[in-house]
Structure 1
Amino acid sequence: MSETHFDSNLIARPPQKFDFLQPLRNWFDSIQIHDRRAAHFVCKLIPAQCPFERDIKLFGRTIAHIPPMCKLNPLYDQFVGLRFRALCYLVDECGEMVV
């Protein structure tokens, strides 16, 4: 019986794409909240819900729906994570609830 050996260098790999936003994502993910005022500022700055989602009504009937566009933001997950860390700081360290 013959065995087939594959050289891993001969396998075609897709070219690596450079994600120019990755350094910014890493920076946002590395931000730690250690100040009550900063935590409140972050919670005010980053909304809990997408402010663009709307129902268009005419005479009490919904005629159109504008879907949330926040997911189109390439840094959406980082902003949500930063707001979550700020909320956790306020609850865990300061004993406050922010809504």
Structure 2
Amino acid sequence: MNLLNKVRLNNSLLNQIKYRLEVIEIHDYNLAKLLCKVIPSHCPFERTVKILGRTLFHIPPLCKINPLYEQFVGLRFKCLLYLVDVCGEDATKYC
């Protein structure tokens, strides 16, 4: 198998995973709560490194490099909507 076929296979697999994440429907309260807790509301890798009040360097958010970032954010949003609209729960505790 040449490199181009491997890239196509990997891209096809990635697209299948993206599609599977996008079509998930949330109908379970416990699953929605769990996913809201597990999927962060902001990129956990962004950091500003300071010593003695002086900024040494800033690490930018790297989440957008993740090819599944949009799908996970969308899934978390679906969970929040389910908790608010269907279950009547306050979503501010997940922000």
If the length of structure 2 is used for normalisation, what is the TM-score? Answer: 0.83
Q: May I ask how many residue pairs the two structures share in their alignment? A: 83
Deviation at 1:62, TM superposition (A): 1.3
Partner-residue secondary structure (3-state), 2:83: helix
- Work out which of the two has the higher radius of gyration on C-alpha atoms and give 1 or 2: 1
Q: Which ranges in structure 1 are unaligned for 5 or more consecutive residues?
A: 1-16
Give the corresponding residue for 1:46. Answer: 39
Deviation by residue 1:38-90 (Cα, 9 ceiling, x = unmatched)? 00011011000000000000101211100001001000000000000000000
**Where do residues 1-99 of structure 1 align in structure 2 (5 Å cutoff)?**
18=8, 19-20=11-12, 21-98=14-91, 99=94
Q: Which ranges in structure 2 are unaligned for 5 or more consecutive residues?
A: 1-6
Percent sequence identity is 53
Q: Aligned Cα RMSD in Å? A: 1.2
